[in-house]
């Protein structure tokens, strides 16, 4: 507890920032806590940077991103999809993981959702011979629902490694618990990544030839 009380006396970052004006200096010592949380103490980064017992990073021999990489490279689209390892890891990291310290997928997921909604609407229109009958129906709205997007990730096995924080009591680990709202961002981020790197037309091809046929199963 001695180090904890020393930590409490540590000046705020504002003092350090304005040091040239106020001319104050400070030193800081930090103690990390492992195991059960203690309010006010900082947890060991190696514990924070893991999800379901898997440490953050590419993993040994890129094992963490290998499934997603192989899946994307196996797709038979008009362009072969090749992504950097960093981008693949970003796709597999949710905003909730480690307080957003690591690159996460919210921007990719956002543009992916917008693309999916437009392409899905276009798809519905084409399927019903340019008639608006099914637009706004439950079936139309299902095409970008969390349930089906999470199902797609599960079906392709790309959700086996996903860095996120699950709200389980006491920080318990449960690999089978996969909240749809969080796991759906894997699929929407893939669409977002394709849109950002290869453009709308390839993303459209991915959605119409790969994603929606899986839903139809």
Partner 1 sequence: MLASNRSSIHIAKRFISISPAISKINTINNNLNNNSVNHKFKFSYENAKNKQINQNNLSLPENKLDFLNYNNNSSSSSISLLSNDEAKLIPSIVALHARLNLPKNYPFNTLVKSLTCPTNEFSNLSSNNQQLSILGSHILSFYISEYLMTNYPRLPISILKSAIDSYIGDFSLYDLAKNNWGIEEDLTSKLDKYLSNEPEIFKFGKLRYIRKVTNPEINVTKYSNDQNSNTFELSKAEAYANSVRSIIAGLYIHSNNNDLIIKNFINNHILSRQIDIESLFQFKESGKLLSKILKSNNLQPPVVKLISETGRLSSTPVYVVGCFSGENLLSTAEGCSLREARIKSFNKALKAWYLYKPLDTKLPSDEGFNGMFVDQGEKFY
| Interface residue list for partner 1 (CB under 8 A) | 13-14, 16-21, 87, 90, 95, 99-101, 103-108, 110-111, 114-115, 117-118, 121-125, 127-130, 132-143, 193, 195-201, 203, 212, 215-216
What are the residue ranges of helices labelled H in the chain? 2-8, 13-17, 19-22, 45-48, 63-74, 85-91, 106-127, 138-142, 146-155, 180-198, 200-206, 212-216
Measured from the CB atom, the residue of 20 and 29 that comes closer to partner 1 is: 20
The residue (of 101 and 175) whose beta carbon lies closer to partner 1 is: 101
* Least distance to partner 1, CB of residue 2, Å: 26
Smallest separation, CB 166 to partner 1 (Å): 18
Instruction: CB nearer to partner 1: give 79 or 175.
Output: 79
User: Which residue, 95 or 180, has its beta carbon nearer to partner 1?
Assistant: 95
Q: How far is the CB of 199 from partner 1 (least distance, A)?
A: 4
Distance CA 204, CA 210 (A): 10
- What's the CA dihedral at 173, 30, 17, 49 to 10 degrees? -20
Residue 215 has, within 13 A of its CA and on its CB side, a CA count of 19
């Amino acid at each position: 507890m001695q180090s904890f009380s020393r930590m409490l006396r540590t000046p705020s970052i504002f003092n350090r920032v304005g040091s040239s004006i106020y001319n104050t200096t400070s030193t800081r010592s930090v103690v990390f806590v492992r195991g059960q949380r203690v309010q006010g103490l900082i947890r060991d980064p190696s514990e924070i940077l893991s999800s379901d017992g898997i440490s953050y990073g590419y993993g040994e021999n890129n094992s963490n991103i290998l499934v997603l990489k192989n899946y994307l490279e196996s797709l038979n689209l008009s362009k072969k999809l090749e992504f950097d390892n960093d981008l693949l890891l970003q796709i597999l990291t949710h905003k909730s993981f480690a307080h957003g310290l690591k690159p996460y997928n919210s921007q990719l997921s956002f543009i992916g959702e917008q693309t999916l909604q437009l392409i899905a609407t276009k798809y519905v229109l084409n399927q019903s011979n340019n008639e608006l009958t099914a637009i706004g129906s439950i079936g139309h709205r299902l095409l970008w629902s969390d349930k089906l997007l999470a199902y797609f990730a599960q079906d392709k096995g790309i959700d086996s490694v996903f860095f996120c924080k699950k709200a389980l009591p006491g920080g318990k680990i449960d690999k089978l618990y996969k909240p749809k709202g969080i796991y759906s961002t894997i699929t929407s981020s893939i669409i977002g990544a394709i849109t950002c790197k290869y453009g709308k037309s390839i993303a459209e091809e991915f959605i119409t030839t790969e994603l929606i046929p899986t839903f139809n199963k």
